[in-house]
Amino acid sequence: MDTLLSSEGDSQRTQYPYVTGTSIIGIKYKDGILMAADMGGSYGSTIRYKSVERLKQVGKHSLIGASGEISDFQEILKYLDELILHDNMWDDGNSLGPKEVHNYLTRVMYNRRNKFDPLWNSLVIGGVKNGQKYLGSVSMIGVHYEDDHLATGFGNHLARPILREEWREDLSFEEGVKLLEKCMRNLLYRDRSAVNKLQIAKITEEGLTVSQPYSLKTFWNFAAFQNPTVGATGSW
């Protein structure tokens, strides 16, 4: 009887996300993939950590970025380390590309969802292999797709419209970074969980580089920012 009526305290699964990261933005550009993320880790509505790295390399050809629960992202990285290690043990001259990594993660996320034990993350996977650029995403319940530009979290609402207007297939590296910074600045203004400390990762046929953390120039004297409740019905 005690087993059947065991308390929630005995559960080992993530019942609710505790420390979370906000939006990831990824785009294709002329030579490869660019991805941007800030470094905030929110404990509820409190920005508790400001140096959380959410962009990581996977094998030789892939890059992953994650929104959502940080501890679940660490678990996903363990899975990916095992996947890449097992692949390398074949020593057959082949290596997993971004499409294979994306497909693997769609199965992992959907499998965990079916166990009612989801990994509370939205993931963006990008990379370049054999001259082919790849960019895909997968949600915490296994919904997945590919596109030329992707965003998770608030970025889906606040950054994708900018990307739809301004993204081009022949963007240079400098233009791509400028576009990502525009999106991240918009998120900084509008998303309470965003922090002004970000990294941008670039992956091409030559390899992966992740920028040192840096801050964006901002302007907070817009008229709408001075007293945002003016004219709002029922405001204080």
Q: Tell me the pLDDT tens digit for each residue of 150-189.
A: 999 999 999 999 999 999 999 999 999 999 999 999 999 9
233 is catalytic: no
Question: Rounded to two decimals, what is the model's pTM?
Answer: 0.89
| pLDDT recorded at residue 235 | 57
**Average pLDDT score over residue span 40-67:** 95
Cβ–Cβ under 8 Å, residues 173 and 33: no
**Average pLDDT score over residue span 139-145:** 96
| pLDDT recorded at residue 1 | 44
- CA–chain centroid gap for 181, Å, is 15
Task: Name the band, by pLDDT with cuts 50, 70 and 90, for residue 115.
Answer: very high
Choose, from 3, 14, 209, 229, the residue flagged as catalytic. Answer: 14
140, pLDDT greater than 60: yes
Q: What is the pLDDT of residues 214-234, one digit of tens each?
A: 999 999 888 878 887 777 776
| pLDDT recorded at residue 98 | 96
| pLDDT recorded at residue 11 | 65
**Average pLDDT score over residue span 73-100:** 94
Task: Name the band, by pLDDT with cuts 50, 70 and 90, for residue 79.
Answer: very high
Percent of the chain's residues with pLDDT above 90:
83
**Average pLDDT score over residue span 77-86:** 96
**17 vs 39, which has greater pLDDT?**
39
128, pLDDT greater than 80: yes
Nearest alpha carbon to residue 194 among 77, 59, 16, 25 = 25
